[in-house]
């Protein structure tokens, strides 16, 4: 059984952040613990929400409480996502370091939630902390196209630029780790208009998986993709196999969701567990 610790947002309604990750991971057989970085009523994309960002002191206290009962021992992986504020980001990264000290074999996956579609939607200081502090700790980075360009400082318009940007970032990941980078949601110059690409750097090689582009308005697909890929990699220790598994399971959920406002995780669970449509990554 894979054991994971998540640091991500929690919402009372909907399926974004941790709520896009916990049930799918549990349904696939993982044991999941969560330290919530924010507690919101719903995704801010609705135009209205209420709630609070978790304080650094609470992040530290929750982690300390888990450590006291041995709950940080024997972890297979730690995954961070939405961080809320720069100060909470500092506390989360300290907690990640503490968890990995208790579980030296655990891998750390950083989903660098900063923005999308040309817009930064996190508070000031978060992107800088991700670039300066999280990347050197991480074994896996899962940026979307916008985040790949922002963190690398490059315009990412085609595959050549995407590879160069990913190379720059992968070189900054933890030297002793597998140094995986999964770039999601790519619509590059070479991407057909009816398709969407994901690009994986693993074992000094490049792999691409291309899936049909769906009409989607629900948020949370990036959270789900990061969790699915991380779980598949921890299970297989094989980058291309993890990419194939992630693509099939993600496409199953997104196909079931269609143009609904929230991901259809419950109704689509059987299709996610045993997807009917499979995708084969290709070296590129």
Residue 45, pLDDT score = 87
Strands (E), the chain: 3-11, 31-40, 51-53, 77-80, 107-110, 115-116, 119-120, 140-141, 180-186, 195-202, 205-212, 282-283
pTM (whole model) above 0.95:
yes
Distances (CA, A) of 54 to 34, 223, 242, 244, 261: 13, 19, 32, 35, 26
CA distance 253 to 272: 6
Confidence grade of residue 198 (pLDDT, cut at 50, 70, 90): very high
Confidence grade of residue 202 (pLDDT, cut at 50, 70, 90): very high
Residue 212, pLDDT score = 98
Residue 249's nearest CA partner among 70, 55, 1, 24 is 24
- 222 Cβ contact partners less than 8 Å away, ≥ 6 residues apart: 111, 113, 116, 142, 144, 184, 185
DSSP state of 38: E
Residue 71, pLDDT score = 98
CB 58 within 8 A of CB 261: no
* Average pLDDT of the residues of the chain: 97
Residue 9, pLDDT score = 98
DSSP state of 154: S
Residue 31's Cβ-side half-sphere holds a number of Cα atoms within 13 Å equal to 9
Positive/negative CA dihedral, 261, 53, 59, 121: positive
CB burial readout 154-172, b (16+ within 10 A) else e: bebeebebbbebbeebbeb
pLDDT of 107 > 90? The answer is yes
Burial class (CB in 10 A: 0-12, 13-18, 19+), 15: buried
CATH 3.40.1190.20 is right for the domain spanning 3-283: yes
* Residue 19 burial (CB count, 10 A): 22
Token pair, residue 80, equals 């961070």
Q: Where are the alpha helices (DSSP H) in 187-268?
A: 221-236, 239-257
CB 66 within 8 A of CB 33: yes
CB burial readout 101-139, b (16+ within 10 A) else e: ebbeebbbbbbbbbbeeeeeebeeebbebbbebbbebbb
CB 120 within 8 A of CB 155: no
pLDDT of 182 > 90? The answer is yes
Return the axis-axis angle of helices 56-68 and 86-102, rounded to nearest 10°.
10
pLDDT of 78 > 90? The answer is yes
Mean pLDDT, rounded, for 122-129: 96
pLDDT digits (tens, 9 = 90+) for 215-267: 999 999 999 999 999 999 999 999 999 999 999 999 999 999 999 999 999 99
Positive/negative CA dihedral, 72, 102, 60, 32: negative
Residue 4, pLDDT score = 98
């Amino acid at each position: 059984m894979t054991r994971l610790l998540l640091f991500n947002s929690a919402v009372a309604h909907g399926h974004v952040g941790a709520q896009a990750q916990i049930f799918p991971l549990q349904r696939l057989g993982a044991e999941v613990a969560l330290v919530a970085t924010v507690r919101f009523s719903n995704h801010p994309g609705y135009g209205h929400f209420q709630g609070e960002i978790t304080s650094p002191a609470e992040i530290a206290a929750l982690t300390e409480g888990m450590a006291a009962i041995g709950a940080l021992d024997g972890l297979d992986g730690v995954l961070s996502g939405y961080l809320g504020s720069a100060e909470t980001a500092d506390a989360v990264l300290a907690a990640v370091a503490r968890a990995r000290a208790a579980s030296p074999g655990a891998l750390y996956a950083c989903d660098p939630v900063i923005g999308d579609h040309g817009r930064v939607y996190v508070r000031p200081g978060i992107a800088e902390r991700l670039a300066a502090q999280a990347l050197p700790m991480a074994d896996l980075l899962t940026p979307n196209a916008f985040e790949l360009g922002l963190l690398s400082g490059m315009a990412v318009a085609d595959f050549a630029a995407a590879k160069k940007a990913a190379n720059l970032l992968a070189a900054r990941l933890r030297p002793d780790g597998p140094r995986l980078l999964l770039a999601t949601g790519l619509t590059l110059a070479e991407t057909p208009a009816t398709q969407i690409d994901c690009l994986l750097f693993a074992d000094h090689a490049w792999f691409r998986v291309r899936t049909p582009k769906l009409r989607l308005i629900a948020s949370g697909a990036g959270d789900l993709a990061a969790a699915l890929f991380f779980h598949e990699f921890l299970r297989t220790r094989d980058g291309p196999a993890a990419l194939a598994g992630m693509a099939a399971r993600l496409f199953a959920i997104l196909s079931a969701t269609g143009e609904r406002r929230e991901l259809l995780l419950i109704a689509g669970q059987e299709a996610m567990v045993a997807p009917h449509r499979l995708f084969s990554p290709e070296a590129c």
